[in-house]
Structure 1
């Protein structure tokens, strides 16, 4: 196989909370030099066949992907699945069950915002939703920017949508064990997404890595749009310490909102085992 030079294994389309279609993302990724791509919509695999076909049409190789929301130590953690069978029935059911709680949560978020004078937030957020089962804080943020309550989505999250703010409502997602099980049983490989983003103590993070590995998790994101250069080095060291392979992905959502573009990240540090080497037989 030709060596992989530019892998981007984390991004989102309109099937979850991105603003571009799978086809538009594929064109953008290929134009930016990506040669191995994965679409990882939140708790959803509905765009996988479209993304694989678009990748082939754009001259890229493809790995199936999703990003599963799990609850660990009271925090929401994201587990990326790569290289699985997108038609696996058990995974599809598990993801459906995970999505099912978002609707009620969204209604409660709207009720909280109404108490501080922001009315119609649920209906407003729905205008930005490609898949109503996946309504999220990001869709509320886009509505609040459009309605003039904030300058950008970052300001929305700071003022309204984080813990202790009027629009924040926690949700209990899948368990870490279940998410890894779905991915592994469907023939894929589980990756902890952007580990530097979670508000864990050192002991809690250590426990996350240990439990993740005990359940069959194999990799962590090292180079990601959510990490600083210092965190690239920090999580490269953690990958070596725990024997994890390393993944790389922009976490791209939108040309107007994302911190970095598809395919724009630096390469993985050379001492690490790339996750795509473990998934060679699953690359399309």
Structure 2
């Protein structure tokens, strides 16, 4: 079953994407996606809409979310798949993780104003579909609109990463808490796009050891931000740690995303796909 067009990582206007769950479902289906998941940041408010849209387009569906956690001084993303979206512990945990985003956004705007970019908070709000989830991506879109930068990637490099004006650290969930919320709700926890983190080899090893000790069971091997060499690297990591492999574009927007929904390389045939682990949760 590794040869399956599954896209298990993307974002809608419920978090920091630009399309509705229904528009994403139509786009995924048009690209031949057979199994789909909407994984909005720290939010499951779009799950019912996404599942209904998937069914309308003849796709199978897995519930999804992407939880921000703090580990070794960095923000790491943990994707949850196949959980019960009505689970109250999961809902409460995500609500707590979302808390504090507005005050963080206000401080980001203050720092950008000091750097000569006024009105960033109000400008970012124009791009927000869910005010509880205002994020760096919304600020980036505003700075592109204002002509400060050519694209969102340049905004992040110049203003919104550690050590730059406009970057404000936020304390996210603990790794163990996020994995527990997902697994106790019947789902599988997956480390998202591991090549994106700036860990040393020892720190990355510690991440995988602790993740697995908490009950984490998967890693994104094929994802929109991985190079071919990184896909090979994390296929090896999946084998080393006995983890299931996931596949997802991390699609946010037709104008910003480098990888289109569903148009990804296949998983290596010897790996266990995450959808086999949560087969009983597929809708």
Please tell me the TM-score bracket, short chain as reference.
over 0.9
Segments of 4+ in structure 1 off by > 4 A?
none
Counterpart residue number, 2:157: 158
Give the Å deviation of 1:148: 1.0
Give me the whole-angstrom Cα distance separating, in 1, the residues matched to 2:85 and 2:110.
36
Give the Å deviation of 1:270: 1.1
1:143 aligned to 2:148?
no
What CA deviation, in whole Å up to 9, does each residue of 1:149-176 have, x standing for no partner?
A: 1111111111111111101001000000
Give me the whole-angstrom Cα distance separating, in 1, the residues matched to 2:15 and 2:243.
28
Give me the whole-angstrom Cα distance separating, in 2, the residues matched to 1:5 and 1:237.
20
Tell me: CA distance 1:191–1:210, structure 2 relative to 1, closer, same or farther (3 Å).
same
Counterpart residue number, 1:13: 12
**1:225-236 equivalences in 2 (<5 Å):** 225-236=224-235
Give the total of aligned pairs: 283
Give the Å deviation of 1:4: 5.9
* Contact 1:160–1:168, Cα closer than 8 Å, also in 2: yes
**1:176-187 equivalences in 2 (<5 Å):** 176-187=175-186
1:44 aligned to 2:53?
no
Give me the whole-angstrom Cα distance separating, in 1, the residues matched to 2:105 and 2:112.
11
Aligned CA RMSD, in angstroms, stands at 0.9
1:205 aligned to 2:188?
no
Counterpart residue number, 1:82: 81
Give the Å deviation of 1:241: 0.4
Question: What are the ranges of 5 or more consecutive residues in structure 2 without an aligned counterpart?
Answer: none
* Contact 2:68–2:76, Cα closer than 8 Å, also in 1: yes
Counterpart residue number, 1:274: 273
Tell me: CA distance 1:197–1:189, structure 2 relative to 1, closer, same or farther (3 Å).
same
Question: What are the ranges of 5 or more consecutive residues in structure 1 without an aligned counterpart?
Answer: none
**1:107-122 equivalences in 2 (<5 Å):** 107-122=106-121
Helix, strand or coil at the partner of 1:40: coil
Give the Å deviation of 1:271: 1.3
Give me the whole-angstrom Cα distance separating, in 1, the residues matched to 2:116 and 2:190.
40
Give the Å deviation of 1:3: 7.8
Helix, strand or coil at the partner of 1:161: coil
Give the Å deviation of 1:95: 0.3
Counterpart residue number, 2:170: 171
Give me the whole-angstrom Cα distance separating, in 1, the residues matched to 2:100 and 2:175.
17
Helix, strand or coil at the partner of 1:168: coil
Counterpart residue number, 1:100: 99
Helix, strand or coil at the partner of 1:68: strand
Give the Å deviation of 1:268: 0.3
Counterpart residue number, 2:214: 215
Helix, strand or coil at the partner of 1:76: strand
